[in-house]
Chain A
Amino acid sequence: MSAAVALEFEKPVKNLEAKIAELSRLVGEETDGAMSVELEKLREQAAKRLTQVYSNLDPWQKCQVARHPDRPQFLALADMLLSDYQPLAGDRNFGDDQAILGGLARFRGRAVVVMGHEKGHDMNSRVKHNFGMGRPEGYRKAIRLMELADQFGLPVLSFVDTPGAYPGKGAEERGQAEAIARSIQSGLRLRVPSIAVITGEGGSGGAVALAASNRVLMFEHAVYSVISPEGCASILWRDGKFAKEAAGALNLTAQDLLRLKIIDGIVDEPVGGAHRQPVEAAMALGDALENQLALLSSMDGSALKRAREQRFLAIGREGLV
């Protein structure tokens, strides 16, 4: 059902695609003739239009692409990028969070610890994964996984895609704030290479909890922000309708964040976004991860920890105008 989801600004392209589908049904097997020439023209037009739309996305449109239900999330990425994935469950205190998943796996032959957010793609899976909003036991599972990685000298890869940490009664009572703080602390303490990728929506504390890493990458149309544009608008403009303005003011696109030196690199997405061609997107991500991992692998434990601290301490101090 989510395959039908078309974002507002994609509609002209979707209309063209519908026409193409209709026309190719009429053309049938016929390979030459006026109809198929027309069809070819339409296809070119649609491709051109798509490229055009996606090379000019404004920040608010990027938020919508980043939240697209067909965008590959943790499980899909694990499937496409990893072999021998062994999911590990639970925080050994309270429960097993379904918004933050992770485990052991091999990435291009190398044993690693992986973790990330799963939001779900349809109503049932969204409810199961709590829309990707972690509870304390999720962050504590992440802490466990990071400590495991440290213990066995395995690199940590994390895929971040969350609207934010879950605002619930139980979550507060079980120490949501403390769990997030400790998760960041665990990330900063690692003596193994760590790479985080913001694959979709990098929502505030719930995102940075899994992204205090040696390298932080972003997919081309991902966003990463201190607060959602809607939340920001309702506080600063006192009206959620100003989300578009807030999205612009927040500087939340991958391109903004690279300029601000918050992230280390952008992973290009196929034309039309990762949700249209998830396999190509995953392969590009795999190549980027492999490159970064190779760069980090020559460093020893204390150098990795020191370099990570320096990376974060340098943010906001220089190079900003």
Chain B
Amino acid sequence: MNWLSRHVRPGIQRLVGNKKETPDNLWTKCQSCDQMLFHKALAENLQVCTHCGHHHRMTVLERLDSLFDDGAYQRLEQPELPADPLKFKDKKPYIARLKEYQSKTDEKDAVIVAKGTMGDAPVIIAAFNFAFMGGSMGRAVGEALVLAAEAAVANKAALLVIPASGGARMQEGILSLMQMPRSIIAVEHMREARLPYVVLLTNPTTGGVTASFAMLGDLTLSEPNAVIGFAGRRVIEETIREQLPDDFQTAEYLQEHGMVDQVVDRLELRGRLIMLFGLLRGVPGPTVPADPATDGAPAMAEDEPIASFDQV
């Protein structure tokens, strides 16, 4: 990326050459069922295991490709912010950590904002990159969410936010805490414009991210088995001194407790989102119920948008 070559001195990795660790013909072991999966097949199946359905982590770019019509989208430029105003230093200066992640991920920070269409209707997606400091929320992330909502309002688009985050970015101290109200203001602007704001919770979504914009979607969806919570499991176990159930804080557990509308398989996600956005926007559709005998439910929307959700 140009931005990087302009601002960040290449790290060792880049000097040595950014070696691709996994050639296309390699096998990958499923994290859940241990089955060997053909790397390319796994990617084509959106990183969902073809044996057990386990959802492996997707890169943000894979995610955007899989959701937008024809995988086509335009990234939105994010404003530059003063770097590290606290001059934070733990074992290492924050600024050095930040540069390290920037060169590792080729991104400025943890959220990518993109504009495109889904089922021909305009959508803005703000997606978290967990690989960038655990998707933690600092000023750049808050600013990206504010920008995403602004762009959605300007384009009369729906907003889909896909968190994958450990929570607030401690190295930005109070400034990261302030992203909770700031991101909620972004949500508020969507609400005032009466445009759909949908959150897709992915693994993991915790801490200050959950306790702000992520729990305020008009609709809340989650990927299967994603860990979603406020406090960390270990902290809770230490506080209450008891063992928590295995499925504690999973998407399914949250749905049981009324916190999530739907847990959606990744392979059905695009179709489902198009359906939900269409319904929220009051787009007219079929006048008779689908015939269950022919399995009329549009389970998997492929490249073709579902006819009934074409813009009128």
Which residues on A are within 8 Å of B, measured CB to CB? Answer: 165-169, 171-178, 180-182, 184-185, 187-189, 204-205, 208-209, 212, 224-227, 232, 235-237, 245-246, 249-252, 257, 260, 262, 309, 312-313, 315-317, 320-321
Question: CB-CB < 8 A to B142: which residues of A?
Answer: 316
Q: B175-198: which residues lie under 8 A (CB-CB) from chain A?
A: 175-178, 180-182, 184-185, 187-188
What are 24 A-to-B residue pairs whose CB atoms are below 8 Å?
A167-B230, A168-B231, A169-B248, A171-B230, A172-B236, A173-B257, A177-B229, A178-B211, A182-B215, A184-B184, A185-B188, A188-B181, A188-B188, A205-B177, A212-B181, A225-B173, A226-B176, A236-B170, A250-B173, A252-B173, A257-B174, A312-B178, A320-B82, A321-B85
Smallest CB gap from B209: residue in A: A177
Shortest A239–chain B CB gap in Å is 10
Q: Shortest Cβ distance from A311 into chain B, in angstroms?
A: 9
Would you call B231 and A172 a contact (CB within 8 A)? yes
Q: Give Cα A320–Cα B85 distance, bound, in whole angstroms.
A: 6
User: B89 near A: Cβ within 8 Å?
Assistant: yes
Cα distance A191–B213 in the bound complex, in angstroms: 21
Question: Once the chains bind, are B215 and A181 in contact (CB under 8 Å)?
Answer: yes
**B224 proximal to A (CB < 8 A):** no
Residues of A within 8 A of B231 (CB): 165, 167-168, 171-172, 176
Q: Judging by beta carbons under 8 Å apart, are A312 and B188 in contact? A: no
- Chain B residues at the A interface, C-beta cutoff of 8 Å: 81-82, 85-86, 88-91, 139, 142-143, 146, 168, 170-178, 180-182, 184-185, 187-188, 207-208, 210-216, 229-232, 235-236, 239-240, 242, 244, 248-249, 257-259
Distance (Å) between the CB of A164 and the closest chain B CB?
9
Q: A181-B184, A226-B208, A250-B174 are in contact. Are A316 and B230 (CB under 8 A)?
A: no
Nearest CB in chain A: distance from B100 CB, A: 15
Of chain A, the residue at the smallest CB distance from B245 is: A169
Once the chains are docked, how many angstroms separate the CA of A171 from the CA of B257? Answer: 11
- In the complex formed, the residue of A with least CB distance to B177 is A226
Query: Which residue in chain B gives the minimum CB-CB distance to A212?
Result: B181
Report chain B residues within 8 Å CB of A175.
Answer: 215, 257-259
- Cα-based distance from A167 to B237 in the complex (angstroms): 9
Q: Which residues of A contact B90 (CB under 8 A)?
A: 236-237, 245-246, 249
CB distance from B269 to the nearest CB of A (A): 22
Closest 9 CB pairs of A and B: A167-B231, A320-B85, A177-B210, A236-B90, A177-B230, A226-B177, A180-B211, A178-B215, A177-B211
Min Cβ gap B261→A in Å is 13
Q: Enumerate chain B residues within 8 angstroms of A173, measured Cβ to Cβ.
A: 257
How many pairs, one residue from A and one from B, have CB atoms within 8 Å of each other in the complex?
A: 165
Name the distance in Å between B201's Cβ and chain A's nearest Cβ. 11
Interchain CA distance A260-B184 in the complex, whole Å: 21
Q: What is the bound-complex CA distance between A168 and B86, given in angstroms? A: 32
Contact of A232 with B216 at beta-carbon distance under 8 Å, contacts A167-B236, A315-B182, A316-B139 already known: no
Given contacts A167-B231, A317-B143, 9 further A-B contacts (CB under 8 A): A171-B230, A172-B229, A225-B174, A226-B170, A226-B172, A232-B170, A236-B90, A312-B178, A317-B81
Q: In the complex where A172-B230, A181-B212, A205-B208 touch, is A237 in contact with B173 (Cβ < 8 A)?
A: no
* A237-B170 Cα distance, complex, nearest whole Å: 12
Is the Cβ of B257 less than 8 Å from the Cβ of A316? no
Q: Please state if A251 and B86 are interface contacts (CB–CB under 8 Å).
A: yes
B249 with A185: CB separation less than 8 A:
no
Residues of B contacting A251 in the complex (Cβ-Cβ under 8 angstroms): 86, 173-174
B168–A227 touching, CB < 8 Å = yes
Residues of B within 8 A of A262 (CB): 174-175, 178
Measured CA separation A236–B97 after assembly (Å) = 12
Q: Which residues of B contact A208 (CB under 8 A)?
A: 177-178, 180-181
With contacts A226-B176, A249-B88, A320-B85 taken as known, whether A312 is within 8 angstroms of B181 at the C-beta atoms is yes
Most buried by A among B139, B181, B208: B181
Cross-interface CB contact of B211 among A176, A235, A250, cutoff 8 Å:
A176
Cα–Cα distance between A245 and B90 once the two chains are bound (Å): 8
Tell me how far the C-beta of B274 lies from the nearest C-beta in chain A, rounded to whole angstroms: 26
User: How many angstroms from the CA of A22 to the CA of B239 in the assembled complex?
Assistant: 43
A317 neighbours in B (Cβ, 8 Å): 81, 143
Which residues from chain B contact A321 at a C-beta distance below 8 Å? 82, 85
**Chain B residues with Cβ under 8 A from A176's Cβ?**
211, 230-231
Alpha-carbon separation in the docked complex, A205 to B176 (Å):
11
Using CB atoms, name the residue of chain B closest to A168: B240
A240 to chain B, nearest CB (A): 12
Q: Which of A172, A181, A249, A250 contacts B213 (CB 8 A)?
A: A181
